[in-house]
Amino acid sequence: MTYTTDILQQLRRDWQYRANSPDSRRAFEHLHQQHPEVDLHTATDMGGVLTLLEARSGCDVLTKAKILQALLIEADDELLRRALLQTLLPGVVSACRQLRFGEGIIDDPSETLGVAIALCAELLVDWAGQSRPYAGPDILSALRGRLRRWLLKEKEAQRHLAGYDGFDATAPENSQLLTRLEQLRGGDFDRLARLTYARVFEGVSLRDLANADHTSTRQLASELQLFALQQLL
């Protein structure tokens, strides 16, 4: 689908750059040392591990499940968490498709995908260290719940949008995403941090944010996606 291309290609290029890097080999060694019971075959870096998780890798379902379980346990490691996010992307797209990309609520389907990826990244931070034999399905099920709640919140926000006058509404406590946005406030990314906060936590539509920011919805969507990729994931 063309509307998923930009952000998915950005993530794919980012992973291609990192998949066989020295940091990737370091992360692989950590994973292998912590989970010697998991059969990682001939992989030598995280790029090789994700190859094992592909549909046509020849790896059996049980081995794939154990790899995903180990990745979630070790998800406090940023690169292992990034690898887990990368391998879950097809499932993230599927979750968006099941919710029809927010049709009737969200104007641009790619915006729903961008939010879903950000929510999945936050979920991986929240669940890091947990041991789940069905880690993949569990994560995607939880993501669907979070995404559905976001869409319902967005739908409700549209009814009260006329009274919107700022970005200072109360946000959920203990949110990793909120903490990161607060860290970026006042710096080079202050504008995008404020806009992301308004979009995710207050449910302000992309169209109204673009109007307030004096930019086009397409340009703002692209900026927010790149910001999420480079600063939030």
pLDDT at position 132: 95
pLDDT at position 204: 83
| pTM for this model (two decimals) | 0.69
The two three-digit tokens of residue 137, written as one number: 């399905």
Residue count of the chain, please give it.
233
Main-chain phi, psi angles of 5, to 5 degrees: -65, -50
Of 146 and 206, the structure prediction assigns the larger pLDDT to: 146
Which residue range forms the structural domain that includes residue 24? Answer: 2-232
Tens digits of per-residue pLDDT, 40-61? 988 999 999 999 999 888 899 9
Cα–Cα distance, 184 to 196 (Å, whole number): 11
Cα Rg, the chain, nearest whole Å: 18
Number of domains observed in the structure of the chain? 1
Tens digits of per-residue pLDDT, 3-45? 455 889 999 999 999 999 999 999 999 999 999 999 998 899 9
Tens digits of per-residue pLDDT, 163-205? 434 444 444 544 677 788 888 877 778 888 888 888 888 788 8
DSSP 231: I
Tens digits of per-residue pLDDT, 108-134? 888 899 999 999 999 999 999 999 999
